[in-house]
Amino acid sequence: MTFVVTKACIRCKYTDCVDVCPVDAFREGPNFLAIDPDDCIDCAVCVPECPVSAIYAEEEVPNDQLHFTALNAELARAWKPIVRTKLPLPDAEAWSKVTSKLTELKRCDAQGVSRPELHALVISSVPYRPAALGSPTFAIPTHEGARNHR
């Protein structure tokens, strides 16, 4: 068993969980954290530290987010460890309220190189629902304010 960071972390990247991890299992991407399943010792001390409740035990990951288990493992191989708390992203609080933000995940490795195979892993795990079929409208915060998307 391992612990898994899920979609609530995307574009928030609160790092409260990092300081309490006794084995430095967290990996840092541009706008998301991942847990290396090879380093995680299943202690669960990170779970209550996450202000957006993005961390789950592997067997408790919500059904619509099961693909995050594989995503964490893949991203952990590409990203460097993070061992100290940093400030969250500037618009983290606004993004913490957005639920449909998987497409916002930046999948670059530590050198900023795009990893298309990681992009395919995430996108292929999520059902596509065109706006014509009535997907919900939601607001995505931006630096200039919020704009509506379908």
**pLDDT tens-digit map of 65-115:** 999 999 999 999 999 999 999 999 999 999 999 999 999 999 874 455 544
Are the beta carbons of 81 and 24 closer than 8 angstroms? yes
User: Angle of helix 116-124 relative to helix 67-78, nearest 10 degrees?
Assistant: 170
Task: Write the Ramachandran bin of 134: left for phi over 0, alpha for psi from -120 to 50, otherwise beta.
Answer: left
Ordered domains of the chain (ranges, CATH): 3-149 (3.30.70.20)
pTM of the model as a whole: 0.73
